[in-house]
Amino acid sequence: MITHGRKLDTPGLRQKLDRLYRDRFSTANDVEVDLDARVTEAPHQAWSLAAEAAERGVDRIIALGGDGLVNEVVNGILEGAPSREQRPELAIVPIGTANDFAYAADLPPELGAALSLALAGPARSVDLGRVNERCFLNVASGGPLSDAAARMQPNLKGLLGEVSYIVAALLELPRAEPMALRVRSGDWSWEGNAHAMIVGNGIRGGGGFELCPSALVNDGRLNLSIVPAELDFSAMVPLVTDRSLEQVEGVIYRPFTELELESDTDITVNLDGEPTVLSRAHVEVLPRALDLCLPRGSSVLQGPRLVA
């Protein structure tokens, strides 16, 4: 179990973790567990903790935090267990600011229920996305949206919470310089200026908005959404009012398994909220790369829902 150190003040979390570590079982399912709890004390430590746990051959890693901590844990698992057969399962207890993936996946918002599911719930194989050498579970986004999120001060993020990313981006949009993109996937290509580029394995990003409405985590593909620069501020208003890019006319959508991305200048791309700077990238899906604990009937799954 890996907990974000700055989230230990979440109401009731310390008490529940103390009880779990003392009793070493889930009272909801009477499943005995050998629980090793770790708390991050420095940035990016979750990555190394997850890699160490995967190397030791643990059965499941529980990530307590937001989308950024989950991203670190995912990459740590793949580093520590390069072989698919050796990778531990992943479970998520969402205690971050936006919890975009957890919300879309119908993970329990209540702490006790989320912990019980994470300890004893069933796991399902899911895809991951990869941008160059770094993976993501939910979304990768670039452009003014990502730039605003990367520059956001922690106090603003905490104050605005779920809408902070989109609000910050829209405030900057009228004066932001669009990014020049060249995108190629198979025999399809697009070139132009864009306000935003989103690659979705999951549906939801930006603090509560459907940015890739058709995305599913087990369909063997990723979904590209491009917001062309000719869309002005007024055209983007439905993104806030309806909380979905689907309601914004002129957005370009494209499913893919691999694509090449180029820009004339460096752009910031946020992978599950974790920023990286690049001017070109190979983006691909890693099908069924990880087993993820999900509730029955999770909205992010294709095909028959979980029944156990």
Question: Where do the domains of the chain lie?
Answer: 2-127, 136-287
So what CATH class is 136-287? mainly beta
Q: What are the φ/ψ torsions at residue 256 (nearest 5 degrees)? A: -160, 165
Specify burial of residue 303 (Cβ count, 10 A radius: 0-12, 13-18, 19+).
exposed
- Using 50, 70 and 90 to split pLDDT, how confident is the model at 273? confident
Q: Which two tokens stand for residue 204?
A: 């939801």
Catalytic residue among 72, 89, 210, 274: 274
Q: Which two tokens stand for residue 149?
A: 């999120």
- Distance CA(38)–CA(64), nearest Å, equals 10
The residue ranking higher by pLDDT, 19 or 29, is 19
Instruction: Give me the CATH topology for the region 2-127.
Output: Rossmann fold (3.40.50)
pLDDT tens column, 116-170: 999 999 999 999 999 999 999 999 999 876 665 555 544 455 555 545 556 666 6
Could you tell me if 139 and 100 are in contact, meaning their C-beta atoms sit under 8 angstroms apart?
A: yes
The residue ranking higher by pLDDT, 249 or 172, is 249
Give 197-221 as a 3 state SS string: EEEECCCEECCCEECCCCCCCCCCC
Full DSSP string of 80-98: H--SGGGPPEEEEEE-SSS
Could you tell me if 246 and 213 are in contact, meaning their C-beta atoms sit under 8 angstroms apart?
A: yes
pLDDT tens column, 180-209: 999 999 999 999 999 899 999 999 987 778
Query: pLDDT at position 176, please?
Result: 76
Please say if the pLDDT value at position 27 is more than 60: no
pLDDT tens column, 109-126: 888 899 999 999 999 999
Round the average pLDDT of the chain to a whole number and report it. 85
pLDDT tens column, 57-84: 999 999 999 999 999 999 999 999 999 9
pLDDT tens column, 50-64: 999 999 999 999 999
* Predicted TM-score of the model (pTM): 0.87
Burial 145-170 (b: 16+ CB within 10 A, else e): bbbbbeebeeeebeebebbbbbbbbb
Positive or negative torsion for Cα 83, 200, 197, 207: negative
Could you tell me if 196 and 226 are in contact, meaning their C-beta atoms sit under 8 angstroms apart?
A: yes
- Using 50, 70 and 90 to split pLDDT, how confident is the model at 247? confident
Q: Is 274 part of the annotated catalytic residue set?
A: yes
